[in-house]
Structure 1
């Protein structure tokens, strides 16, 4: 998944036309492969009374006043939503630096960005992901996907040389988000009444993927999709929106709910015993939208499946498979709601 050999042969995506270039050529002419008739009929819930969970990590320090209350709030957010916004995380400076270099990269001429283009049978690089057939519906967006961790297996072929500060900025950002992820995993384990080491040890030598997204504006925004509905096949996803253009929507009680991010907050999507939130990205009629998703997955020696302590208490609902087989399964499928989870579900 990171380089050729041990992690580089898990599969890739079929090459498709660059959407940023496509949008600039003829904004009115949208190829049929991008048109999704179902988008127009989807119900969007705009309800000011719906309180999106917000977790203050400052309160999640043992001995801190309000610790137990905030820990219970985190548990409810993960169990009932599978989604929350995290504030006071200590990564604001790294986030701002990462926003700048990501915007600079996507502003480069196409030929410069193509220096980082994907290659066959590898998901890293500049292009699109999860394109597995020539006739499937395509997303209205481009991405740069890089695996910063484990550091020993980095493939610098896909790291931009321009802007010059990209490498150092991504390294700083990667480190900050890994630290936040490990803290959250430990807190989640405490809430689940399992030994924190049982969960966090799976993330030693963690596989961390960074997906930088660029969604061009589209005059037919009500007919295309920036990123198809899906639930993330990772342990923990940390998402930031780079500019002020909304686009993230989550499915809650069968409705799509637009998420208005809190300035400076990190959006967290959890997995496992907790709810695995289905979400998507829509595009704007007039403005581009940019975001960065950081995925944190167990190491290559770990297994993906129910934690033994939880399975012993409640019975296993999903199969357990090796991380490498799990990653191959992810890469070989198009994004399609919760179909991956359904594939792994144990039928009784």
Structure 2
């Protein structure tokens, strides 16, 4: 879904776009000062690289863990432009407020008390991934971001208002998500799918490239701590809705998904209960 009237000021959203663009147009030597380490996801680089012969997506990425503050790795936060940190903190604080409201609403929708989903996280972690898609001369030959679902609980995405690129899979087809000015796109993530025993499915999506225009997207992920165990709620299971997912430790689930190339929702198989095959 896309949400409007969320209270995040238009000026702040535009400021976030501006500082991100200023960073991505820096020379590669400057951006590489914040390069991701091989065993980490913080910083600048290219996510989901699992082999040397892999065809890479047409995107540059900057990933920062925002909340809780103690988990930040400030050595990966760009110091150019100078106002990057201040604006990123202000934007992320506002998106956190919206995210908390959404989690409370989803908790009620799923038949729980308002506070339950937030409580099940122990504390909600929040990360920001800025995806920069340069113009591409052959957009039909490469994807900006391969098909995948988010490993998060929910994701809030700010798009550019005038450059489409996000597509979701619906009934076997790819459907473009036309940007609504100053709206936030909300994706259901894998954690909600598991908790709801598959009733609310994480959305498979991708990004396509553009021949003439650059595009940037700003994905805020809300997700549990590593040690949180996730499994379907009892009230989501009955004779007609058998338990589809086993209990998984979230940190293990997340790392399994990061170790593989994005291939739709194949990574969710690690949480699914395997059917028993009895041979006679």
TM-score over 0.5 for the pair: yes
Displacement of 1:310 in angstroms is 2.5
Counterparts of 1:347 and 1:227, CA distance in 2:
29
Displacement of 1:295 in angstroms is 0.7
Selected match of 2:212 from 281, 286, 291: 286
Counterparts of 1:210 and 1:236, CA distance in 2:
12
Deviates more, 1:154-163 or 1:320-329: 320-329
Indicate if the aligned counterparts of 1:94 and 1:176 stay in contact, CA closer than 8 A: no
Indicate if the aligned counterparts of 1:189 and 1:195 stay in contact, CA closer than 8 A: yes
What corresponds to 1:320 in structure 2? 247
Counterparts of 2:65 and 2:217, CA distance in 1:
16
What corresponds to 1:21 in structure 2? none
Counterparts of 1:261 and 1:243, CA distance in 2:
6
Counterparts of 2:78 and 2:120, CA distance in 1:
30
Counterparts of 2:26 and 2:56, CA distance in 1:
23
What corresponds to 2:6 in structure 1? 89
Displacement of 1:338 in angstroms is 0.6
Displacement of 1:263 in angstroms is 0.2
Q: What is the TM-score of this pair, normalised by structure 1?
A: 0.73
What corresponds to 2:97 in structure 1? 179
Aligned: 1:213 with 2:213? no
Counterparts of 2:222 and 2:50, CA distance in 1:
23
What corresponds to 2:86 in structure 1? 168
Indicate if the aligned counterparts of 1:202 and 1:299 stay in contact, CA closer than 8 A: no
Rate the CA distance shift 1:157–1:306 in 2: closer, same or farther, 3 A.
Answer: same
User: Secondary structure, in 3 states, of the residue corresponding to 1:214?
Assistant: strand
What corresponds to 1:338 in structure 2? 265
CA-to-partner distance for each residue in 1:280-317, whole Å, 9 max, x for gaps? 00000111111111111012331223234434784421
Aligned: 1:155 with 2:82? no
Displacement of 1:136 in angstroms is 2.0
Counterparts of 1:316 and 1:228, CA distance in 2:
29
Displacement of 1:157 in angstroms is 1.0
Displacement of 1:347 in angstroms is 2.7
| Count of residue pairs brought into register by the alignment | 265
Indicate if the aligned counterparts of 2:160 and 2:179 stay in contact, CA closer than 8 A: no
User: Secondary structure, in 3 states, of the residue corresponding to 2:141?
Assistant: coil
Unmatched runs of 5 consecutive residues or more in structure 2: 276-280
User: Secondary structure, in 3 states, of the residue corresponding to 1:277?
Assistant: coil
Matches within 5 A, 1:237-248: 237-242=155-160, 244-248=162-166
What corresponds to 2:227 in structure 1? 301
What corresponds to 1:115 in structure 2? 33
What corresponds to 2:278 in structure 1? none
What corresponds to 1:258 in structure 2? 176
What corresponds to 2:187 in structure 1? 269
Displacement of 1:107 in angstroms is 1.5
User: Secondary structure, in 3 states, of the residue corresponding to 1:222?
Assistant: helix
CA-to-partner distance for each residue in 1:259-287, whole Å, 9 max, x for gaps? 11110100000132312111000000111
Q: What is the TM-score of this pair, normalised by structure 2?
A: 0.90
Counterparts of 2:2 and 2:29, CA distance in 1:
36
RMSD: 1.6
